[in-house]
Amino acid sequence: MIVYEVRRFYGGVHRVAEHAAQPTTKEHTLRPAKRISTAALIAAIGASILTVPQAAAMDSAHSSRSAEHRHSSLQESVDAIAATGPIGVLAQSTSHHRKRYATAGTADIATGQAVHPNDRFRIASSTKTFVATVILQLVGEGRLSLDDTVDRWLPGVVSGNGNNGANITVRQLLQHTSGLYNYTADIPMLASVDGFQNNRYTTWTEGQLVAMAMNHHPDFAPGTRWAYSNTNYILAGMIVRKVTGRSWQQEVTERIIRPLGLHRTLAPTTETHIPGRHLHGYSNFGGSGKTVDTTEFNPTAAGAAGAIISTTADLTRFYTALLGGRLLQPAQLSEMKTMVRTPDLDIVWPGASYGLGLMRIPLTCGGSYYSHAGDFPGYTTRDGVTDDGQNVVVLETAGDGATDLSTEQAQNNLIDRELCAAQRQ
């Protein structure tokens, strides 16, 4: 999520070298006995990660590795990411034929606890796909139009310094073509280690976050360019409340989390901790101070732009349902997948484009996959899903990673390799 996406994309985050020592690694492989329906596959994905004992999964991984996996395994790809500097790495790769997990490193430096497939983590801007899905469901219900202006629902909220909500549509919010200034560039808890420590427990209102952006002139006229701005999704969350009378957290929970059985996914309000097993985040905020544990903070700073907590299994189930057509009507899913080119992202994802809360990224083997990255200091979420939702890769790293783009490149390589391999099966 947040400003760290820009910092990471342009090499501004420093490697935490003291915690990049020899990682502990595990790979887990499960093969279904027979082909099952999309709905049954979704249920199986979520249930098995919670019930299969770790030792049995490790035995399965060791006994079922094929010659292909000895040469190019998920574990090797995870190890390659870990070698670039993150403290912990967790990946899940799921296809028609099987699902696998691979882990490396440490979930909690204080206890020495190793990364585990069940670990929760902060998904940061991957939250945006959930929020965009709710907005598009409301569109499908006839309660909202993508061509509605922001002023139609939030009169006077986007105003001043050349900002005008009467000229910005809901579509432009979801697509990042509004031109609105990115409020996270001004939020103190993201500026430095001291800024984070002094402000991590502050509660922010949506109005305060939007007001930060309104202190600035827009970056460009609505609809004329693309530029990532978390302000867009804070406004989208506010529109959800205006249309439904309930918060975006309530709507995401009732419309997505509960129906899909995402039992380890949370849409928090002001809760600062992550319950149960989880990955700890660690960052030195671009070398601005000593590396600190960033796990606990008040998620109102991220809101609808990036507050959700989840797991690799739950995100896999979500993307399978979304791209498989279970969450949106065909017309709304088509809108979500209608893309504009995003040259600003080429440094990390050459040829990338952005729809409504969803990215599309080319594969080296031909075709493309859908995704939404998420970054917060100490946490990086990466994912990839094929057009039919049947092949999904979800990847999480904890810690800052390398000062160059080698961590990002290793993450991209893992997703590309897994999805290309699935295409060949």
Cβ neighbourhood burial of 43 (10 Å; 0-12, 13-18, 19+): middle
For the chain, what is the largest distance between any 2 Cα atoms, rounded to a whole number of angstroms?
64
Helix (H) or strand (E) holding 381: strand 379-385
For residue 284, give every residue at least 6 positions away whose Cβ sits within 8 Å of its Cβ, in sequence order, or none. Answer: 14, 16, 193, 290, 291, 292, 400
For residue 66, give every residue at least 6 positions away whose Cβ sits within 8 Å of its Cβ, in sequence order, or none. Answer: none
From CA 179, how far away is CA 225, in angstroms rounded? Answer: 7
From CA 403, how far away is CA 387, in angstroms rounded? Answer: 33
Catalytic (active site) residue 406:
no
* Contacts of range 266-271, beta carbons closer than 8 Å, 24 or more positions apart: 266/120, 266/308, 266/309, 266/310, 267/130, 267/307, 267/308, 268/299, 268/307, 268/308, 268/309, 269/299, 269/300, 270/203, 270/298, 270/299, 270/300, 271/299
Name the β-bridge partners of 369: 361
Set 73, 77, 93, 125: catalytic member: 125
Please give the full DSSP string across 261-310, using - where no structure is assigned: T-TT-B--SS--S--SSBPPPEE-TTTTSS-EE-S---GGGTGGGT--EE
DSSP helix, strand, coil percent of the chain (3-state; round to 5):
40, 15, 40
- Locate the DSSP E strands across 132-259: 159-160, 163-164
Closest-CA residue to 5 (of 228, 188, 291): 228
The DSSP symbol for 178 reads: S
Dihedral angle of Cα 418, 422, 424, 425, to the nearest 10 degrees: 140
Residue in the structure block whose two tokens are 């002139």:
217
1's tokens: 């999520």
For residue 226, give every residue at least 6 positions away whose Cβ sits within 8 Å of its Cβ, in sequence order, or none. Answer: 175, 176, 177, 340, 341, 342, 343, 344, 354
Question: What positions carry a catalytic annotation?
Answer: 125
